[in-house]
Amino acid sequence: MSTLSIRPATEQDIDLILHFVRELAIYEKAEDEAKATPEHVRRTLFCEHPAVFGLICEVDGKAVGFAVYFFNYSTWQGQHGLYLEDLYITPDARGHGAGKALLQQLAQIAIDKNCGRFEWSCLDWNTPSLKFYDSLGALPQTEWIRYRMTGDALQALASGQKTVS
């Protein structure tokens, strides 16, 4: 029987985290968008006062996945929430409880930190993950549209310049 364990990510895991990020980006058909470097990860996850945190999932001492999360805030609830930025399990380790164990650990962190919510996003074409989340009792949020600004649009807004639609 395999031993599954979850531990906080450490600075020694930077290359491992980036490996999983690249695998996730390939799976999500967005490999060219994964631009994080070891220095990015070091300065964000392993700085003196990090605002983002990581977990490593291991089976029999071998890393098979990771999760990266941070805390947000709901003015309506007057409570923090836990937001799961990424969760990835290597293909050969899927279906054996590693993903569920990571989600359970994150749910426990949310409870321990008195969070009112535990949220994440999933690509609409990722049917295996959508079915998995549904099986856990997670509810898709269809009434909100997620927006994103990057690059030139972000720079233009920050500087007060007019943006072209």
The active-site residue, picked from 73, 83, 133, 147, is 133
- The span from the CA of 92 to the CA of 122, in Å, is 21
- Phi/psi of residue 6, each to 5°? -130, 135
Burial of 67 (0-12, 13-18, 19+ CB in 10 A): buried
Spatial neighbors of 51 by CB under 8 A, at least 6 apart, are 44, 70, 71
**Is there a contact between 81 and 119 (Cβ–Cβ < 8 Å)?**
yes
133 is catalytic: yes
**Is there a contact between 151 and 164 (Cβ–Cβ < 8 Å)?**
no
- The span from the CA of 66 to the CA of 58, in Å, is 9
Which of the residues are catalytic? 133
